[in-house]
């Protein structure tokens, strides 16, 4: 046998390594032959079933089991693979992702590690072609890398099961990541490999899994570094704190809101730089603030990650010894000139809505908004009487526009844009300052838009869309929901229905149904309350709606009932950033049974 011949030609320490690697390669090949996506996912993610399981299995397929081995050279590696019945036709190529992970773990330069990838094919029990993905770290005798091989073999950091995404796009990748997170999988790195033009997202799966593997890989052909960046930024779960410490942290949440709001109100981010640090004394002179008070605020903001503290080479006054502050990427979002600045949101949450949250007791006792109790009128009327406040509110809504970024890739919009007949029309209902419509029209130059909004918002939207080069393709209408223009191809209700009670929602959806032709689509962007009570941003916004607006967040099935009452049916749903979803609805067929609701990524 080839393996035996090889064993007689290598040193004894490599002989042990060979036997171990060969056994692991054989086990990986057997595992790939025995499993398919539908049977494997519940082993990795205990409890997954129903729509989530169907969505995962429907958008990706089990592709390979990954293993890291440690041959002294490539010739030996090929012999080992041959001895396990693993053959391949294509040459190996460098592994950028695993090489960098190994370098970080063992504090070495990536250039010092020669890591290659081979994917010998294996036929699954269902006849599908799969692979054993072999990462090979070359460990020449007496190279000093033997300790790394021993450590990695024991820990099994790179052993994983991979699922290849069939038709990757930002919506699909975000949806798959959301499902995995919902079932206990935590982000665990990833990367883009230019040698094969592929993006890898790694996850650690729950300890209760029974597959024998703790790591899962999503593999997407192509360059998806925007999705990768969101994946890498996802926070790791923290160990549980003692109850008293946790409660104290929660009770001081109001301090965080006001610290960030003050940071924005005082325009401190505009006076700071992300590249060089400034002293509190110097910043105080620029912003007209007290040096000691400003230093206290900046130290707190450093805890939050909005700024970072740095030592400065020059000697400073005794009260601020060698201490400087530099703006972080998070803090830079509060600059007035930042793209998609979140400064208006900080001013709104730290201003009118902060004060009205002091009336939460009233909202819980009576079911009526605390905002109305404090200001004597609802927030729409209150803002309408104050142009500056109305403008701040519209800009604060636009500050969350990053939830709209994947929306142009939704099939309803891409199919509308692909029609060969007359240009399709997208109607943005109560579309604020046109931020969402700008995203859609910029992505699809063949689409036309209609914005329905209040008069002052229409004027703002006209300026924004003209500046973006989309104004010539957009029509503007000042009016209410009853003024919906008929004949559109796609209607959009973004963060509208959560402002209203069920009766008003039925009325709004009824206006949409009457305006929509039979072929039209309705896209509803909202945060969805989780059916299982798991932590969700929607739960926080549900409290916000109770206290400040009088509306509510809802579960998917609740929206499905409201749609059905208006003669519409829920076709599918897709996750968006910032905890949002897009609900895709159509007119109910005039004959036949109601179409079932299902989830998609």
User: pLDDT class for 451, splitting at 50, 70, 90?
Assistant: very high
Cβ atoms within 10 Å, residue 565 = 15
Over residues 418-428, the mean pLDDT reads 88
180 neighbors 86 (Cβ within 8 angstroms): no
Q: Is the pLDDT of residue 588 over 70?
A: yes
| Inter-residue contact 306 to 260 (CB < 8 Å) | yes
* Packing angle, helices 12-34 and 146-155, rounded to 10: 30
How is domain 402-587 classified at the CATH fold level?
Answer: Rossmann fold (3.40.50)
Q: CATH topology for 251-338?
A: Arc Repressor Mutant, subunit A (1.10.10)
pLDDT beyond 50 at 374:
yes
pLDDT score, position 91: 76
Tell the residue number behind the tokens 């209040």, with chain if given.
Answer: 454
> Is the pLDDT reported for residue 386 higher than 70?
yes
Q: Give the residue-averaged pLDDT of 528-546.
A: 86
Q: What CA–CA distances, in Å, run from 176 to 49, 276, 401, 433?
A: 14, 39, 21, 31
Task: Give residue 314's pLDDT.
Answer: 53
Among residues 100, 338, 112, 47, the alpha carbon closest in space to that of 228 is found at: 100
Residues 6+ apart with CB under 8 A from 416: 424, 426, 444, 447, 489, 490, 521
Buried b (16+ CB within 10 A) or exposed e, 514-545: ebbeeebbbbbbbbbbeeeeeebebeebbebb
Q: What is the per-residue pLDDT across 469-481, written as a single tens digit (0 to 9) for each?
A: 999 999 999 999 9
So where are the chain's domains? 2-232, 251-338, 352-397, 402-587
pLDDT of residue 7: 28
- What are the pLDDT digits (tens) for 268-286? 999 998 888 889 999 999 9
Q: What is the pLDDT, as a whole number, of residue 156?
A: 82
The mean per-residue pLDDT over the stretch 318-325 comes to 63
Reported confidence tier of residue 591, pLDDT bands at 50, 70, 90: low
Query: Is the confidence at residue 358, as pLDDT, over 80?
Result: yes
Instruction: Please provide residue 399's backbone torsions phi and psi, each rounded to the nearest 5 degrees.
Output: -65, -20
Strands 307-311 and 323-327: antiparallel
Of the pLDDT bands very low, low, confident and very high (cuts 50, 70, 90), residue 106 is: confident
Which of 74-88, 124-138, 152-166, 541-555 ranks highest by mean pLDDT?
Answer: 541-555
pTM for the whole thing?
0.61
Average pLDDT over the chain, rounded to an integer: 85
Query: 124-138, 246-260, 547-561: which has the minimum mean pLDDT?
Result: 124-138
Give the model's confidence band at 267: pLDDT under 50 very low, under 70 low, under 90 confident, else very high: very high
Pairing mode, if any, of strands 521-527 and 323-327?
Answer: unpaired
Average pLDDT of the residues in 262-272: 96
Catalytic-residue membership of 498: yes
Q: Distance between CA 179 and CA 54 in Å, rounded?
A: 11
Using DSSP's 3-state secondary structure scheme, residue 136 falls into strand
Mean pLDDT of 457-461: 86
97 Cβ neighbours under 8 A, 6+ residues apart: 189, 190, 191, 192, 193, 200
What per-residue confidence (pLDDT) applies to 240?
Answer: 60
List of long-range contacts for 140-145, beta carbons under 8 Å, 24+ apart: 140/72, 140/73, 141/10, 141/11, 141/13, 141/14, 141/72, 145/70, 145/113
8 A C-beta contact, residue 348 and residue 393: yes
> Phi and psi dihedrals of 581, rounded to 5?
-135, 155
Question: Is the model's pLDDT at 312 over the cut of 70?
Answer: no
Please write down the HEC assignment for all residues of 137-175: ECCCCCCCCHHHHHHHHHHCCCCEEEEEECCCCHHHHHH
Contact between 302 and 327 (Cβ < 8 Å): no
Query: What are the φ/ψ torsions at residue 320 (nearest 5 degrees)?
Result: -125, 65
8 Å CB contact between 524 and 585: yes
The CATH code belonging to domain 2-232 is 3.10.180.10
Q: Kindly indicate the confidence band of residue 235, based on its pLDDT and cuts at 50, 70 and 90.
A: low
Asked if 345 contacts 399 with a C-beta cutoff of 8 angstroms, the reply is: yes
Q: Which range, of 19-23, 121-125, 183-187, 561-565, averages the lowest pLDDT?
A: 19-23
Q: How would residue 16 be classed by pLDDT, with cut points 50, 70 and 90?
A: very low
Which residue among 379, 410, 498, 571 is the active-site one? 498
Domains 2-232 and 251-338 share a fold: no
């Amino acid at each position: 046998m080839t393996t035996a011949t090889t064993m007689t030609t290598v040193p004894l320490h490599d002989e042990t390594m060979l036997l171990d690697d060969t056994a692991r390669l054989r086990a990986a090949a057997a595992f790939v032959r025995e499993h398919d996506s539908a049977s494997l996912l519940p082993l990795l993610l205990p409890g997954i079933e129903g729509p989530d399981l169907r969505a995962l299995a429907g958008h990706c397929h089990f592709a390979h089991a990954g293993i890291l081995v440690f041959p002294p050279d490539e010739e030996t590696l090929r012999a080992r693979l041959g001895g396990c019945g693993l053959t391949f036709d294509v040459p190996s190529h460098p592994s950028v992702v695993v090489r960098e992970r190994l370098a970080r773990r063992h504090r070495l330069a990536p250039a010092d590690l020669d890591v290659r990838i081979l994917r010998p094919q294996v036929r699954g029990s269902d006849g599908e072609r799969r692979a054993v993905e072999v990462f090979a770290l070359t460990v020449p005798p007496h190279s000093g890398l033997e300790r790394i091989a021993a450590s990695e073999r024991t820990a099994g950091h790179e052993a994983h099961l991979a699922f290849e995404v069939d038709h990757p796009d930002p919506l699909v990748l975000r949806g798959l990541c959301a499902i995995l997170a919902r079932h206990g999988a935590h982000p665990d790195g990833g990367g883009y490999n230019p040698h094969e033009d592929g993006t890898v997202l790694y996850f650690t799966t729950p300890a209760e899994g029974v597959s024998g593997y703790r790591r899962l890989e999503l593999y997407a052909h192509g360059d998806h570094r925007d999705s990768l960046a969101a994946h890498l930024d996802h926070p790791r779960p923290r160990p549980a704190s003692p109850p008293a410490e946790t409660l104290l942290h929660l009770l001081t949440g109001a301090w965080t809101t006001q610290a960030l709001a003050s940071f924005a109100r005082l325009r401190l981010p505009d006076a700071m730089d992300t590249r060089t640090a400034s002293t509190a004394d110097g910043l105080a002179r620029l912003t007209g603030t007290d040096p000691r008070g400003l230093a206290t605020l900046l130290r707190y903001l450093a805890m939050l990650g909005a700024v970072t503290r740095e030592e400065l080479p020059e000697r400073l006054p005794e009260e601020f010894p060698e201490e400087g502050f530099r703006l972080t990427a998070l803090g830079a979002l509060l600059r007035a000139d930042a793209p998609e600045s979140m400064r208006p949101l900080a001013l709104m949450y730290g201003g009118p809505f902060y004060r009205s949250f002091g009336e939460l007791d009233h909202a819980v006792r009576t079911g009526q908004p605390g905002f109305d109790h404090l200001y004597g009128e609802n927030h729409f009327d209150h803002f309408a009487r104050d142009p500056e406040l109305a403008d701040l509110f519209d800009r604060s809504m636009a500050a969350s526009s990053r939830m709209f970024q994947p929306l142009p890739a939704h099939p309803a919009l891409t199919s509308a844009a692909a029609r060969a007949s007359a240009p399709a029309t997208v109607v943005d209902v109560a579309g604020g300052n046109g931020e969402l419509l700008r995203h859609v029209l910029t992505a699809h130059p063949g689409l036309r838009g209609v914005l329905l909004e209040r008069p002052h918002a229409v004027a703002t939207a006209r300026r924004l869309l003209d500046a973006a080069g989309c104004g010539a393709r957009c029509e503007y209408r000042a009016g209410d929901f009853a003024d919906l223009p008929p004949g559109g191809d796609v209607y959009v209700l973004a963060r509208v229905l959560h402002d209203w009670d069920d009766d008003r929602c039925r009325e709004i959806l009824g206006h949409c149904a009457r305006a929509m032709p039979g072929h039209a689509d309705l896209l509803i962007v909202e945060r969805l309350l989780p059916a299982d009570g798991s932590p969700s941003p929607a739960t926080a916004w549900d409290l916000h709606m109770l206290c400040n607006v009088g509306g509510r967040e809802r579960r998917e099935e609740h929206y499905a009932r409201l749609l059905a009452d208006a003669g519409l049916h829920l076709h599918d749903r897709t996750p968006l950033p910032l905890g949002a979803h897009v609900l895709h609805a159509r007119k109910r067929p005039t004959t036949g049974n109601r179409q079932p609701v299902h989830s998609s990524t």
